[in-house]
């Protein structure tokens, strides 16, 4: 195998794994569709490594490894396509390079945009032209169904906003959230079927993701952060309960809530003593 070029070596390894006679049975059995779940998993693991990156040697090694795992998924897909005579990894790299150059004329062609809005408009025009070339009639046609729900919601909202279907600011979005929450309460009070309640809850989440978009916040990342924060607090709750010789699941909710507030204060570096409401 070639040792001088790491990418060449990786491609040769992939070809060997897929070899009909001497390759790996599992790798040979895979299709473009069957490895998609693995690709998504690797992407999430990379996102997690980035979120937990502390800049130290261990984090650097983990980040590098996760990037390699995701790169392998690209090489895997390209190899499957190459075997079918469709395209290879060079075509993939050439295509993305051409697209980046085309979408950055201010960097590669000396074009000057008046402001960020003009640059963004040109970017979106190029993407719209690409969608049209692929035969997509609607702005919603090529939004991946496999995207996480919050990310997909924001993407659909951005597409609609490009056509002018959007509020000018975040104020009306907040009103919409309250409206949708009231509809959930009505559905629950009227005892409608669970599917109808789920639909109303979905409307609330869609409105909240729209609010986040107007505020310039990525709701997917924000929710991941809040979930990590809750996880850290819950782990601290478990430790606090164990230090007192108790099992967290054996405590009542009020006792659990007191531990949660202690955990929250500790992790924020605040005093472990509860605030005096009379102070």
List the alpha helices (DSSP H) in 169-272.
171-189, 194-214, 219-243, 253-267
Question: Are 97 and 124 part of one and the same domain?
Answer: no
Shared-domain flag, residues 226 and 252: yes
How far apart are alpha carbons 6 and 81 in whole angstroms? 21
Q: Does residue 25 sit in the same domain as residue 39?
A: yes
Instruction: Tell the burial category of 133 from Cβ atoms under 10 Å away from its Cβ (0-12, 13-18, 19+).
Output: exposed
Residues with Cβ < 8 Å from 238, sequence gap 6 or more? Answer: 248
Per the structure, the complete domain to which residue 169 belongs is given by 143-217
Query: Each residue's pLDDT tens digit in the chain (279 positions)?
Result: 555 699 999 999 999 999 999 999 999 999 999 999 899 999 989 988 998 898 999 999 999 999 999 999 999 999 999 999 999 999 999 999 999 999 888 889 888 888 888 888 787 777 777 777 777 678 888 788 888 899 999 999 998 998 889 999 999 999 999 999 999 999 999 988 999 999 999 999 999 999 999 999 999 889 988 999 999 999 999 999 999 999 999 999 999 999 999 999 999 988 776 655 453
Give me the number of domains the chain comprises. 4
Query: Domain containing 35 — which CATH number?
Result: 1.10.287.1080
d(CA 210, CA 173): 7
Burial of 208 (0-12, 13-18, 19+ CB in 10 A): buried
Q: How many CB atoms lie within 10 A of CB 218?
A: 15
Domain assignment present for 1: no
Kindly state whether residues 110 and 46 are assigned to the same domain: no
């Amino acid at each position: 195998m070639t040792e001088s070029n790491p990418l060449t070596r990786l491609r040769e390894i992939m070809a060997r794994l897929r070899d009909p006679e001497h390759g790996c049975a599992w790798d040979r059995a895979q299709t473009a569709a069957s490895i998609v779940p693995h690709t998504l998993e690797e992407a999430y693991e990379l996102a997690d490594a980035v979120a937990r990156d502390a800049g130290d040697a261990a984090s650097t090694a983990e980040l590098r490894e996760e990037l390699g795992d995701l790169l392998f998924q690209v090489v895997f897909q390209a190899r499957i396509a190459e075997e079918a005579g469709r395209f290879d990894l060079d075509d993939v790299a050439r295509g993305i390079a051409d697209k980046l150059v085309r979408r950055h004329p201010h960097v590669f062609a000396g074009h000057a945009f008046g402001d960020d809005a003009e640059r963004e408009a040109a970017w979106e025009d190029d993407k719209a032209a690409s969608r049209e070339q692929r035969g997509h009639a609607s702005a919603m046609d090529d939004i991946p169904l496999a995207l996480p729900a919050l990310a997909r919601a924001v993407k659909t909202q951005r597409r609609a906003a490009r056509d002018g279907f959007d509020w000018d600011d975040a104020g009306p979005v907040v009103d919409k959230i309250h409206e949708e929450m009231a509809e959930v309460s009505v559905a629950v009070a009227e005892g409608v079927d669970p599917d109808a309640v789920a639909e109303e809850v979905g409307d609330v989440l869609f409105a909240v993701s729209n609010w986040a978009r107007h505020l310039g916040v990525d709701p997917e990342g924000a929710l991941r952060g809040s979930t990590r924060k809750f996880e850290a607090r819950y782990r601290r709750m478990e430790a606090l309960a164990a230090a007192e010789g108790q099992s967290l699941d054996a405590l009542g909710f009020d006792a659990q809530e007191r531990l949660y507030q202690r955990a929250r204060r500790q992790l924020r570096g605040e005093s472990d003593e509860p605030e005096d409401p009379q102070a």
